[in-house]
Structure 1
Amino acid sequence: MLTVPDGVEVVANWESARRLDSPPLLILDPVTGFLDQHGIGSGPIAWQRIGDGHSNVTYLIERGDRSVVLRRGPRPPLPKSTHDMVREARIQRILGRHGVPVPEILAVCEDESLLGVPFYVMSRLDGTVITNTIPPHLSPAGQRKATSEAVVDVLVALHSIDVAEGELASLGSPEGYLRRQVERFRGLWEVNTTRSLPAVERVGDWLGRNLPASRTASVVHGDYRMGNLMFAPEAPARVLGVLDWEMATLGDPLADLGYLTATYSEAGSPATPLELTRVTRSPGYLTRRQLAERYRSRTGLDLTALPWYQTLALWKAAIFSEAIYTRWQRGERPHDTSFGPSLETGVPRLLERAGQYAGLTVTTRR
């Protein structure tokens, strides 16, 4: 049985929450009432925080014979247009109807008086997320290869969904997607940093001058990597669910492929903070080039401009990682003793790697 420890992250009620300097992330009494309202379990709640937790926050909730997952944004104040839990839940409901493997959305709470932010509750998937260890059932060489192939094949299936009309068309406008990405993230740098890294502007300028022409439009996940996929608990390798749809929209599908390949761990390549599933450095997994070739062979898309999308991916990653680093510096991530401080050098490494994809000489070290 999971336990409920004392601490500022989780409290029993709003009376206890008001005594804290910063708001807690989970308040048990209002969540219990919400679960009662939607007929989800009975009795007291037990909880466990799961996932990376660098952006939105996810909890495994056990209540009676039910196990569900609650997902919410970080502590307020939240930047405009980010951490939209209501939109994220809606996207998954729509994609589930189109055959995309996603958890079932059980209930959505738009009432901020319960936790201070909107949240939603989804089904718990019984599977494995691959990060630093290889699950025994996926360890044989053939299953390592099949795991990499499944990552590509699910992305191909996502990008093959027709987004021209119907409910999917309401998720965003693909026209001008790449330019908006560059302009939006350029603006985010100044409000999320306390230091000067001229490489951000230099790479951003290069991206703006070399925008490729988008050949097609699709659903773009925005954070597509192996660590955001849940695999079945038995062989053969099969994706049970695609997780973390916070940044999903309509746009250029090669943005997802660029992000997947640029953040994918490969033997012999320099490590960056975004290589969150390092097991793919081991023998048997596809290389970045093989991932891209499998995607190309199944979609027919021209990948000549892929380095531009890889540059965009790591440049964006540097900017949102800088926001995490700044929050850590300000004491807003008190329990983060490793990832936050590592970004002092990690963000410059991301920028240097982005420069390499762009063919630029980028120096970030003093």
Structure 2
Amino acid sequence: MRKKPSGTLLAKTAHQVEREFRILRALEDTDVPVPKVYILCEDPDVIGTAFYIMEFLDGRIITENHIPHVTPEHRLEMWRDAIRTLVKLHHVDYRHYGLGDFGKSSGFYDRQIKTFTKIAKAQAIVVDVATGEPVGDVPHMSAMLAFFKTGQPRDLSTLVHGDYKIDNLVFHKTEPRVIGILDWELATVGHPLSDFANLMGPFPVNGISKTFEFIPGAYPGLPTLEQCIEWYKSSGYNVSRDLAWGRSFYLFRGCVNMQGIAARYARRQASSANAKEFSANRMKHAEEVWRTMQHLQRQHQNATNANL
């Protein structure tokens, strides 16, 4: 069962189980691996909020991006199939499957910037119920937004998952292949770069990696960023020029999401056991993100100049 959390939601765009149900139902007739959905209940009198029931997929949900406890050969193929599966999603003719009104076909990043800016402002003024202190703004937000106004990728339109990453995939119990994609609450019609950049989150920027495993050559079987870009070319979109810009926006979105955890913790609505720790570390994290984004900005400018 998938349901909305209890209490008042800060963002209307979050936890939209109705949209999840709709896209999962539409994708059942495509080659995109998704769980079958059975029924949607929008009556809040039943359990207190909207929910839907879906099929149980008997496979592996792997929470670590470097996919431990498998052979290097399987690790490489699992990452390859994650990208192969993403290409399948981005190839879906969403209008043919009744999703023509699932999102606007242009201006995706402009809308995303506007939406996340609005969400960040709302979250910043949330007051902690115990201390009376506001959550506060995302550090360097004005500078981040100034960068996003320059060098945006050209408009493209596909179905996008919205949070495509390894731990939102279900892998076969023994084979290195994806049997299902979960957590569709942010799905829409949008720019395919957003999904690819999200999946590339663990990979180093300018040699700087959050985890040892993703330093090239450190963990047998993990692909390089360049391999992933090459695999994704089967989608018809070469993301090389746009990836630094897309990864910057991914990092910005992550800062806003971390601020959101802090806001939910301030209201004592956070479901995660680590919410307090996330809240305490959000400012330090944002400072690290800003330094990383500065590297990405230089990469983006270099890629842009190389294509002039």
Q: What is the TM-score normalised by the length of structure 2?
A: 0.83
- 1:341 Cα deviation after fit: 3.8
- 1:302 Cα deviation after fit: 3.0
Report the counterpart of residue 100 of structure 2 in structure 1: 169
Q: Aligned letter for 1:225?
A: K
Q: Does 1:329 align with 2:266?
A: yes
2:114 aligned residue (180, 183, 189) = 183
Unaligned runs of 5+ in 1: 1-69, 361-366
Report the counterpart of residue 141 of structure 1 in structure 2: 72
Report the counterpart of residue 91 of structure 1 in structure 2: 23
Q: Cα distance 1:127–1:95, how it changes in 2: closer, same or farther (>3 A)?
A: same
Residue correspondence of structure 1 range 38-117 to structure 2 within 5 A: 70-78=1-9, 79-117=11-49
Task: Supply the distance in 1 between the matched residues of 2:24 and 2:13 (Cα, whole angstroms).
Answer: 18
Identity fraction in percent: 29
* Aligned 8 A contact 2:162 2:194 in 1: yes
Report the counterpart of residue 299 of structure 1 in structure 2: 235
Task: From the CA coordinates, give the structure whose radius of gyration is larger.
Answer: 1
Q: Cα distance 1:340–1:143, how it changes in 2: closer, same or farther (>3 A)?
A: same
Report the counterpart of residue 289 of structure 1 in structure 2: 226
Unaligned runs of 5+ in 2: 125-134, 300-308
Q: Cα distance 1:352–1:329, how it changes in 2: closer, same or farther (>3 A)?
A: farther
Q: Aligned letter for 1:210?
A: G
Task: Using CA pairs under 8 Å that are at least 6 residues apart, name the structure with larger relative contact order, 1 or 2.
Answer: 2
Report the counterpart of residue 199 of structure 2 in structure 1: 260
Task: Supply the distance in 2 between the matched residues of 1:334 and 1:161 (Cα, whole angstroms).
Answer: 34
Q: Does 1:234 align with 2:174?
A: yes
Task: Supply the distance in 1 between the matched residues of 2:17 and 2:95 (Cα, whole angstroms).
Answer: 24
- 1:349 Cα deviation after fit: 2.7
Q: Does 1:156 align with 2:93?
A: no
Residue correspondence of structure 1 range 14-25 to structure 2 within 5 A: none
Task: Supply the distance in 2 between the matched residues of 1:349 and 1:332 (Cα, whole angstroms).
Answer: 27
Task: Supply the distance in 2 between the matched residues of 1:210 and 1:353 (Cα, whole angstroms).
Answer: 18
* Aligned 8 A contact 2:255 2:282 in 1: no
Q: Secondary structure at the match of 1:114?
A: helix
CA RMSD of aligned residues (A): 2.6
Task: Supply the distance in 1 between the matched residues of 2:214 and 2:28 (Cα, whole angstroms).
Answer: 29
* Aligned 8 A contact 2:59 2:171 in 1: yes
* Aligned 8 A contact 2:7 2:269 in 1: no
* Aligned 8 A contact 1:264 1:288 in 2: no
Residue correspondence of structure 1 range 174-253 to structure 2 within 5 A: 174-193=105-124, 194-214=135-155, 216-235=156-175, 237-253=176-192
Q: Aligned letter for 1:222?
A: G
Task: Supply the distance in 2 between the matched residues of 1:341 and 1:279 (Cα, whole angstroms).
Answer: 27
The number of aligned residues is 282
Structure (1/2) with the larger strand percentage: 1
- 1:165 Cα deviation after fit: 4.2
Task: Supply the distance in 2 between the matched residues of 1:176 and 1:336 (Cα, whole angstroms).
Answer: 37
Task: Supply the distance in 1 between the matched residues of 2:104 and 2:281 (Cα, whole angstroms).
Answer: 36
Q: Secondary structure at the match of 1:90?
A: helix
